[in-house]
Structure 1
Amino acid sequence: MTGTLLRLSGNFRGVLWMTAAMASGVFVDVCAKLVSHDVPTAQILAMRAVTTVAVFVIILMFIGTRSIRTKRPYAHLARGVLWYGSLFFVFFALRQMSIAEVNAYLFIEALLTVMLAVVILGEQLTARKVIATLLGLVGVWVMCVPKMDGFGVPLGVAAALIGAFCFSAQTLYAKVLTRTETNFSMLFWPQIVAIVIWVPVAVIMWQPAALSDWLYSAGAGFFAMLTNYMVLRAVRVADASVISPAAYTALPFSVAMDLIFFDMLPVPVIFVGAAIVVLAVALLDYRGGAKPVSVVPAEDDESDGNRKAATAKV
């Protein structure tokens, strides 16, 4: 089987890895949504971080601590805050809406990353970026309309959009960190930040959690790490322009999980709005246009290709 995969082109393997990553990422949402509603969102994050760090500690016992040494502790701190801040808002949104609806709103993340790169990294602001961003906002508005009460935006929608913004910001930090940091350290330190921040908060509002809640929280952590691994494999062997469309398989996967686990479907207008956002992102790539910020792994042991930041929730 491995030999067959190696005979495939790098781009085709990249599409397969990215598609698998999107399927895995949806299971993060499923696990988070299956945790009892009696368990506060902060507690879910704390439980997820505790179980994930436990796994990392076991791994470090075998490979040593060299892979987590860092030259930029403050950047890891900022990224950890943003990463788990994004998860907090996304998990909160999942309690208000279906998985498909939340993932549709998160498609705006790629556009937000481009605009933040203009503000934070000083990248050039082009007419194409402005048009794409405005078109993306139209798509979000289309998705919001059925849920709006006058001009009010539901908490779930607001949480999903804030989560997308936080994830965009942590993507920029990831871009900087990959110049000196290993992939393992970039996975490890945000979990430590989460332990420091979310465990004390969770203790204050702690609610009794069943074994199933712990297992679902651990499952969310496992699928998040698996998703990140598969995304890195995808961006190492394939061109960004080829694997980018595969990221949008998250929506059909989400619809399937909503049906299987929760017997629910999003309203049709969600698909219309999501299509507009996808069109806006595609506009950035049209004829060599600006692309979402790339995250280049520090250690790269496979053939080079263009890199693309993951839209998966890791």
Structure 2
Amino acid sequence: MDQHMAKNDTKMGILLMIGATIVFALQDGVSRHLASEYNVMMVVMIRYWFFAAFVIAVALKQTGSLRLAAQSSQKGVQIFRAFVLVAEICVMVLAFTVLGLVESHAVFVCYPLLIAALSGPILGEQVGWRRWAAIGVGFVGVLIILQPGSGVFQLAALIPLLSALMFALYGLLTRYVARRDTTATSFFYTGVYGMLFITPLGLIWWEPMTLTDWAWMASLCVSGALGHWLLIKCYETAEASAVQPFAYMQLPWAAMIGLTVFGETMRSNVVIGAGLVVAAGLFTFWRESLKRAAS
């Protein structure tokens, strides 16, 4: 089977993306449970130990040596990228414990719009007026969720927004390094340097865990590796523009877990705002795919 054939199974790609969103939503639920019992840094650290081991195994399988996997002409950017992601995960897990899954995800879902808005200044890409309009609509959606002028607004609501901004920056840096580095190299830096950043912090806040929670921790580690593996396979199987819209499925899955497992509530402004953000994001993807087809 040649590379071109491998790249064009859109149906399979979509199924892999939906699978990844289910795994990530479950992971968010487990993260929320563990981080409400233990320190966020410790939870993220243990997850990263496993993730780094997984990344090293993948690197060895793909390149045959860690030195080859770590070869990059842009090491500084790669290391900064790894730092941004591990910080983003800590911020998002904190958001789950403070705000819950429903509201955190409703705000976080604006990250593709932030990527579109920042792709101009950071990557030098052209963003036309239609995409700027969509970004504006998405931002209105975020404001509807946050309700900054009302008594409902709390500073905690800005935590997932900060997380979305960091994740957008991570996404743009990933796009930037992809111009010269392979996926295997980027993946290697993400896992290994992320682990190096978080380990000292996690060890400072180490707490003994119950046996049951170690079982949850194990499921968190395995699901993290599985989710990333599904994503890699997804992008190998289908064009990114075809599968990317399905990444939004993580929002309903996470909301279902928040509502059923954690007894969270769904306020109407959150539903309306998230709907606007998702619609604006889908429009942005559509414009991007049109632009790619034209070029």
Fold conserved (TM > 0.5)? Answer: yes
Q: 1:241 to 1:195 in 2, by over 3 A?
A: closer
Q: Is the 8 A contact 1:28 1:223 kept in 2?
A: yes
Distance 1:33 1:248 in 2: 20
AA at the equivalent of 2:109: F
Q: CA deviation at 1:274?
A: 0.9
AA at the equivalent of 1:174: T
Q: CA deviation at 1:66?
A: 5.5
- Tell me the equivalent position of 2:245: 245
Distance 1:184 1:212 in 2: 34
Distance 1:278 1:60 in 2: 34
Q: CA deviation at 1:58?
A: 5.7
Q: 3-state DSSP class of the match of 1:262?
A: coil
The question of 1:40 aligning with 2:42 is answered no
Give unpaired runs (5+ residues) of structure 2.
none
**1:94 aligns with one of 93, 96, 100:** 96
Distance 1:88 1:184 in 2: 24
- Tell me the equivalent position of 1:124: 126
Q: 1:153 to 1:186 in 2, by over 3 A?
A: same
- Tell me the equivalent position of 1:220: 220
Normalising by structure 2, we get a TM-score of 0.84
Q: CA deviation at 1:164?
A: 0.8
Q: CA deviation at 1:57?
A: 5.0
Distance 2:65 2:171 in 1: 27
Q: CA deviation at 1:91?
A: 0.3
Q: 1:125 to 1:259 in 2, by over 3 A?
A: closer
Distance 1:187 1:277 in 2: 29
- Tell me the equivalent position of 2:190: 190
Q: Deviations over 1:268-300 (max 9, x none)?
A: 3222111100121133245xx2369x9xxxxxx
Distance 1:285 1:49 in 2: 31
Instruction: State the identity as a percent.
Output: 20
Q: 3-state DSSP class of the match of 2:192?
A: helix
Distance 1:56 1:125 in 2: 34
- Tell me the equivalent position of 1:297: none
Moved more, 119-128 or 105-114: 119-128
Distance 2:69 2:251 in 1: 34
Q: Is the 8 A contact 1:104 1:251 kept in 2?
A: yes
- Tell me the equivalent position of 2:15: 16
Aligned residue-pair number:
284
- Tell me the equivalent position of 1:311: none
The question of 1:282 aligning with 2:282 is answered yes
Moved more, 173-182 or 23-32: 173-182
- Tell me the equivalent position of 2:69: 68
Q: Is the 8 A contact 1:98 1:266 kept in 2?
A: no
Distance 1:41 1:95 in 2: 9
- Tell me the equivalent position of 2:229: 229
Q: 1:188 to 1:211 in 2, by over 3 A?
A: farther
Q: 1:107 to 1:291 in 2, by over 3 A?
A: farther
Q: Deviations over 1:62-116 (max 9, x none)?
A: 7542552321321221111111111011100000223232222121100111111
Q: 3-state DSSP class of the match of 2:98?
A: coil
- Tell me the equivalent position of 1:134: 136
AA at the equivalent of 1:22: T
**2:111 aligns with one of 109, 112, 125:** 109
Distance 1:154 1:291 in 2: 36
Q: 3-state DSSP class of the match of 2:124?
A: coil
Moved more, 195-204 or 205-214: 205-214
- Tell me the equivalent position of 2:161: 161
Distance 1:20 1:170 in 2: 22
Give unpaired runs (5+ residues) of structure 1.
1-5, 295-304, 306-314
Q: 1:46 to 1:27 in 2, by over 3 A?
A: same
- Tell me the equivalent position of 2:170: 170
Distance 1:119 1:52 in 2: 32
